[in-house]
Every structure is written in C-alpha cells, then in structure tokens.
Structure 1
C-alpha cells in the first residue's frame, strides 16, 4: 500500500469503531527511543523515518509533528503522503493536542494503542483536551489490523554482561534498589524500560537495533524479583545463575496477570514516563510515582565502567585513525560515497576486540546533507564525496566494555571565510565546555551557555541540546542528565559521562558539529565548596586546517594542543609506523 492507502485504511477502521482521531507515537511498550521493527508504526503509516515524531489522523486531515533535527528530512519524506508537517518549537506551530482541540467537536473519541502510550503522555492528552469532554479509547491497536506483514516480536538471545565489564553484581544492584524502595515505603517496584532492566540484572540482548537490549519487564519485591520475557531466549546456565540471586523468569505477557494480583494494600513504585497505560491500568494497588531510581544509579559510572569506557574510546580512536587515513588516501582516487564511508567505518570498528555493533545509525552528511542534524543516507540521497567543501560524520560503536559517540567535521578542500569562522566558533564552544569547572549541584542548563557563547556573540546558534548522557554498553542516549537550554532539575554528578556537541547548520549549504564524550570528576574543594570538572575521554584528532587560529584564546590553543598530544600518546602505541606518522602530523601543535 502507498502511504495514502494506509491512511485511508486506518480511517476506515476509525469509522467502524467510532474513533474521531487516532494518535500514533514513535514508541513501543517500553517507551524506548529505538524500537524493535514491530513497533515502527509511525514510520509505517507516514513514511517518515526519523527517530522522533507523532502522527495524528482525523477523518479529513493528517499531521506529523517532529523537532528541528528532522525538519528537512520530514519535508522530503512526506511529499505526496497527504500528511502535513508541523515543525515543533517554531512560532505559531500548535502542539498535536492543541491542533486536536481545534479540529474536534465536544464528546469526540480519541484513540491510540495503550501499550505504546505512557501514563504521563496520557495525562497530558487528557489535560489538553479536557474542556472538550474528550473520550479516550486506548484498547485498540488499529495499525495491527491493517499492517499485513507486520514483523513479529524480536527473539534475540539474552546474555550475561560479565562482572569484569559491569563492575557490580546483580545482587549488589538489587540491594541498593531495595534500600531505595524501603525509603519510599514500597513493597514492589515495576520496571518497564528495557535499559533499566538490563542494568539491574546485568543482562544484554539484541532485540533492538543499536542498543544491546532485550524485550523485558521486571517486578522487584523485597525478597525476590521476576523478569518477564520470552523464556526460550535465556540460556539454561543463565537461568541457574539468576535463580541463585532469587531472580525468576516468567513469560513476557504474564506480567499483566502478576500485576493484577498485587494486593490492593501494597505500594508499587513505578515511573509514569517509562510505563505504558495498559500496564498502569493492570495495577489496583497504591502507586508511588517516581522516576526509576536506576536512571540515576546507572548514570554515575563505577570505576570498572569508567575504565571500560576509556578502553572503548581507545579502540574507537584506533579504528577512526585508520578510517580517516583511508579517507584521505582514497578521496579523489576512487569513488567514495556516503554509503562507502558508513560501510568502511563499521568494517574498521568491527576489527576491534569486543565490538558488538554500531551504537546508532551513522550520520554521514556531505555538503548540504550535513545541515540536517539527523540526516539519514538513503539509496536516493546517497552522493559521491569529492575533495571540496565539508563532510560531517557522527558515528559510534557498542563494545562489550563501553559505548562510543563521536562527531568530526572534515574540511575536504579550501574553505570559504564563512566556513572557517563557523568551524572555529563551534570548536571554541566545545572547548569552553570541556574546560568548565563548576560547583557541585550545577545543572546542565547552567553550563549549556558555555558551548554557545562564542556562537551567540557572532549571532549564530543551533537548535538542539549540547549534551546527553551515554550508557556503558547500553543506550547511546541516556538520562537523567543533559546539557541543554531547557530547565531540568538534575545535577551533573561525578561519574556521569555526557556528550559535548555544539553545532551550526546552514540550510542548503553545510553543517558543522564537533563532539567528544566528557566524564565528570572531582575538581577540588575550597572555602566556597566542592567543585567538579570534565575529563575528555574521546580519542580522535580534529582537522586543524579548518581553524582560524587567531580566533582562539591562548587557553583554547593550550587545551587543543594538550588534547592532541594525549590522542597521539595513547593511540600511537597501537598503530603501525604508517598510521603513527600520519597521526603525528595531524596532532601537531598549533
């Protein structure tokens, strides 16, 4: 079916069930960012392939809402679909629910799949449409009735994340979690997010692209814990190990019956942002609504995880050195396309010990493609890369001991004055955040301006956040911390690993983004309190030929030269003479 035919088929079902509007999110039953193919419903109904967006279908209209990362991509992918693009965050653009308020009559029925809608989002919807007397219909997965070849549930094998990588046993993590449950006077803790389940029980899987996770829920009690998943996926030896820690395995869908059987007098801790509505409605006990404690627990890496992440950065740096050497040698001598770059990067990373896969789909944006922050190369958009203009590459890998995420912007020929200024200003912002020293208790929104200040002074900016948390052989996007302009009441804490990625995009021309990962650590104490700072742990050179050195402060030049020396000192030990000499040239002091 064409996109228009799919939308019409959905409208036919809506009419049958007397549903006036139907909402399709980008989520799955675990409120994941990256979802198994079975739950790519929003992509299937609209043709929009970005990772974030919401589609709303009414009897006569259809709209897609997405953020600034995907405006250009969505415009192209929605052509001839009959679906209107709504650019979230721009002036005079209504939210999906504001739009529905203007489109619907009183007493209308709004439907969605209750297993793919969080409790928090449901309340937001009800509050937004409350004056209209809207009726919520959450029991129908209408997409399932029209998607004839819909993928089945993923069935990848689950494996143990060894203690030499995790640094803490399942028993230790459950003990810490149960202590928090006791503080909150909770008898049960339901965990719906796959990354939290994976971290608590030191389990990993392959049910989701890029994230080493397994489709699973968990219910934790004072004396035992139950993981709900496809039991055939768990090796017998792992089942035995789990039982030794009072951890049972149960069928994936049996979670609903177990939740219904919790005594009404019990207190159940759950995160309404990471719990779907059907799960929530299965519980008749008293619910304590709090963020999953494991969100914070796993964000502050232990010493073993930190060393593992640093080792992953070293392996990644070696692969990237080989890649950028290859790119320089081959560009102009053989045909190199965006797809070629993506394939070569994966090939070279796969040669490193402990490589499991990519941590997200590589963004390889040549010239104007780089102006799309989350550009996705397709057969139609793939272009040949030549020795001119700018190439932006944002990529990462999953290793057994850590997760990487790095962006480098590569000048491929002589740059214009404007391009050099942009390149330098973005790099200055990244360096200023790298050098930050701040008091304990500082939030990410308090230091976001450091990365933007030089851009602002020159009337430039970027529309996305500056930094996100990164997991340890886990999700490449992790909370609860972030570095962005929006207010969020979460301090940056010792042990957190966060991305540092200021940027600048010129629509139709090019994009520039520089990204390293930074580890928060102690900076010292004084009579004014305790202070923190960042250690840059990514290991890869910057192309200095894009820099206007006169725009750098002495402190910035010192930081860049020291960073390049560190990159060379660590990576050169693992390189042959050819690559070592090349890297020595790339890391020369400026």
Structure 2
C-alpha cells in the first residue's frame, strides 16, 4: 500500500467515526489562491497529485481527482497506486464534483469539507445540488489536519512595501476608487479575501507562498477606515506608517471570522463569490451584495508607471533567457546538463539582473517526453540529462521590483525530425497569429482564441488548456479578468473585454504524451490602434525579446506575413538584447536572429 493510500485509509476511518459519506479537498488556501503555501497543500497530501489545479473527493468506497487537461498525464503518474481515479474535467461526459456526489451519496447522507478552503460560490452550489437530495453539508470540519502529523506551519516571513515609483498609485488613491465602486453597489463595507487584490490595494508584498510575493491577510474596507487581518510580526515600520496614514487598523489574522459576525445587521457587504471562502460568507449576519472585487479590473489595467516598469523588467528577463538559450545550445554536448541544473542556471542568470526578487513561479524545465506534461517541474526523482536530437521546453518567469514575467521557449538541441519541425513551425504560427491580431474594442479572449488554435486545429490537434492569461505585477502569475480560451470557464473569472493597459500571455502548444511537447510564449500589452467610423481598433504590443529557435522552423511552411513578423521580431531581439551580451553571445544571437 502506498503512503497516499494509507493516508486515505486514515481519513476514511475518521469519516466513519463522524458518519461522513464523502470528504471534499480542494486546492485552495483560505483565500482561494491558485497556488498555495506548504501548510495548505492538503489535496497533494491526500492524493499525491502536486499540480496547481484540482479537487479531490474521497468517498467511503471510491475517490476521484478532478483536474483539467494541463495535468492529465501528470496526475495519472503521481496518483498511481493511490486508489484515486482521474476525473478529466471538460472532457466528454465527466460529471462535476457536485453531480458525482449527488449520484454517489445516498439520500440523507453527509458531505463534509473545510469551508475555509472552498469558495463561497462552490459552497452555494453544494448547498443547492446536494440539498435537493436531502444530503447534509458539514463545512467546519478539517479532517486532513487530524491525520497530517508533520503539517508545515503558517509562514512567518516578513513583508515589504512597494513604493509609488513601482506602483504608480498610492494607497489613498486606490482606496478612494474602491469606495466609489462600493457606493455604486450600495455597499457600506467590502470584504476582500484574495491575496493579490489586498497586495495591490495596500501596496505591500510578502513571502507566504513559494514564488508569489503575497501575504496571508484579509481586508474589510469601510467608508472611513480599513481593517487589516494579518500576522503583524511580518510588518515593518514603513508598512505600519503607511497603514496609519490611511486609517488602516491592524488585527490578528484569525480574528476575521469573529469580527465578520459583528458586522451590523444594517450594513451592506460587497463580496465576490469567486474570491471569498464559504465559511467566511456563512459568518456574515448582514445583507450582502455579490459582485466581482473592484480591485480585479483595477489591477489588471496597468497604469503608465507600471507599464514602463514592466517593459524594463521584460528586457532584463529577455537578456537572462537569451543568455540561457545560448548556454544550453553551446554546452549540452560538452558537459552534463540536466533539467534541474538548467533550471538553476536560468535562475542564476535572472539573479544577475538588477531588481530581481525571485522567480515568478516554479520553473518548468522539461526535456523530451517530459514536455508532454504541460506543467511538469523536474525533481531529483525525475531529472534527466539533455541530449542531442531532443527539445528543452523552458516555461519560466522572473519577479522583479519592476514587474513579473512569464515566458516559454522550446530549444532544439542539434537536429530534429522533419515531423517535429512541422509541429514546431505550427506552434510558432499559432503564437504569431494571435500576437499580430487587430481587433475592435469589445472583443474578449474567447473571441480571439481561434486565431491561435487554427494552425493547430488544421492538423487535427489541440492543446487542452487556455492559450493565455493575464499576469500580475508582483502578484498572481495567472491574473483575471481576461484570458485566451475558446470556451468559457466561470471559475477562471476570465470574462472581461480587453482594455488598454491589460497584459496577457500568448502560449499555444502541441503535446504528444510519451513523446514531446512544444510551447512558445510571449507577453503582450493591449494598446489602442486606429479609431474610425467602425469603432476603436486595438492590437497587442510584444513585451519580451527572446529569439524563437530557427532550428525548429521550416520556412517553407510560413506565409510571407509570418516570415516578415518573425524577421521583424528577431531584428528587435538583436537590437534590444544584443548590447547586453558578451561578444560571443552577440555573435551567436546575430546568427539566430537572421532573416529567413
């Protein structure tokens, strides 16, 4: 019996003691974060699956893990021997967790979960669907904590303040804008539980989640004051000074639940059902009005200072990644380079850049068949050596005081087959078509996604994930409210039209299980174009300047416009990055940015 299977056995014993028919274990922390600190990795603990997205449901005699296409291969590998079945979300007739439970649990049964790690919206869905079958919901039960003997403690790492030269807007201005939106909703208080929203609003960052400069906290915005719930040992004098200046009162982190119960019955609370946990929602005694956190759209539209800073960060990142590709190509056949040593090398090159803080997410360095797993990250157990005839997929990013990056390059080592070149070229074409889009104001990600998918659909292939996502400024690397995908997923909260100042990734790919994976990703800035009698046209400006490996491109597969775009992009790469390279690196870059 595997270690995970033993844990499930212990969990089922506790369930039997409390007459629980099924126990739900989501990915999230108390703040509905996509990526969580070690203390909150309960779903990984009980299934073995380490991906960033998924929900486990453990029943008396069955267990399932719901996740999307990015993680199918990885989940099957990591959960082998656990007794947990993979439930492929958005594929064929796979039932949702609530549908599965409604079918599996007998009438009058009981489903339990820790309501602090389930969103309000999800909790309400459980109420509706399971309530129809007279199934009881118990939401104040943390069974995982009872069997996780060496569970990591909550982070105690310090916070730091982000000055106006980086944010472009002070705390007072942001609070004023939020209160104006509250007034539109008729709200007198606004509860914000999402960490990236609070970090943006109060202009400080932390270190409570690996790679993400965020801190565990809750915020209640009132008409004339703010309540901040946080471990105050993390706050330095600069942060305390700013909080005092803006009438922000500091309270212990866990006091939020009791204080929420004390909100007056005559108050009206604005809450985001996708960004608040179910237990906190159930604590509220007052009238609530539901709506997206106003901060979501505010922080997604970068101001002029942020945009200039991001461009500087992207240039620094492009220098580091270009140096990395040069190093890999020049040395893979002269010294032993593995996925892990390659990852360490790239992090070291980023660290040489001024203003670097940390990588913006866990580096994904995947060679050969590992690249077929979209979110594969190497470990000591899986690490392999780079070899001739394969491809290294590097999906990585840097976090700088001037912003965050998220970029992927697939590097060819030596010679690859004509078939692989055909696929590589198709992925480039897909990325280029979206980068070059010219569209009218009012378009959403789901109306533009087909531009990237078409070259890959033409080959009767697809990549089972979105094509791109917004990314935060030292916040969450996956930032709503927009993204590229051909279908709408409400939980992704990607529903807003493109606005000038939004930044987004463009990252199509082709993945063949057990064989290879190819992804090429650029970062884009949304800008206004020509305005005429037809309306306001818009387009994207590419922010990063890293060469696309010409060793993978078949020029015969490209149209004239696809060649021209690539040649213009490579010319910009050489002009912007070249001055920061050594003579040898610059000579290599000149060759790899040549016109085709």
Equivalent position of 2:407 in the other structure: 406
**What residue is the counterpart of 1:461 in the other structure?**
462
> CA-to-partner distance for each residue in 1:402-434, whole Å, 9 max, x for gaps?
101111111212222211111111111111111
Name segments (4+ residues, structure 1) moved above 3 Å: none
Q: Tell me what 1:104 maps to.
A: 105
Within a 5 Å distance, the mapping from 1:51-450 to structure 2 comes to 51-450=52-451
Structure 1 residue 256 displacement after superposition: 1.9
The reply on whether 1:535 has 2:536 as its aligned counterpart is: no
Q: For residues 448-495 of structure 1, give each alpha carbon's deviation from its aligned partner in whole angstroms, at most 9, with x where no partner exists.
A: 000011222222221111110011122111001111111353101110
Give me the TM-score of the superposition, normalised by structure 2: 0.97
Structure 1: state its 5+ residue gaps.
none
TM-score (norm: length of structure 1): 0.98
In 1, the alpha carbon distance for the partners of 2:72 and 2:461 equals: 19
Inter-partner Cα distance in structure 1 for 2:105 and 2:451:
44
Residue aligning to 2:491: none
Alignment of 1:39-54 (within 5 A): 39-54=40-55
CA–CA distance in 1 between the matches of 2:339 and 2:185?
51
Aligned equivalents of 1:379, 1:61: Cα separation in 2: 32
Q: 1:265 Cα shift?
A: 1.1
Query: 1: distance between equivalents of 2:206 and 2:143?
Result: 29
Structure 2 segments unaligned to the other structure (5+ residues): 489-493
In 2, Cα distance between equivalents of 1:469 and 1:345: 23
Specify the SS of the correspondent of 1:464.
coil
Deviations 1:298-331 (A, max 9, x none): 0000011111111111111111121112112211
How far apart, CA to CA, are the structure 1 residues paired with 2:76 and 2:18?
31
Shift of 1:128: 2.7
In structure 2, distance between residues paired with 1:471 and 1:297: 11
Cα deviation for residue 153 of structure 1 reads 1.2
Which of 529, 544, 556 is 2:550 aligned to? 544
Inter-partner Cα distance in structure 2 for 1:257 and 1:389: 57
Report the aligned-residue RMSD.
1.2
Q: Secondary structure at the match of 1:564?
A: helix
SS at match of 2:132: helix
Match of 2:514 among 508, 511, 517: 508
Residue 580 of structure 1 is matched in structure 2 by: 586
Distance 1:344 1:128 in 2: 50
- 1:564 is matched with which residue: 562, 570, 578? 570
Q: 2:24 aligns to what?
A: 23
Deviation digits for residues 48-86 of structure 1 (CA, Å, limit 9, x no counterpart): 111111111111221211111111111111111121222
Aligned residues: 590
In 1, the alpha carbon distance for the partners of 2:373 and 2:6 equals 29
**Which residue pairs with 2:595 in the alignment?**
589
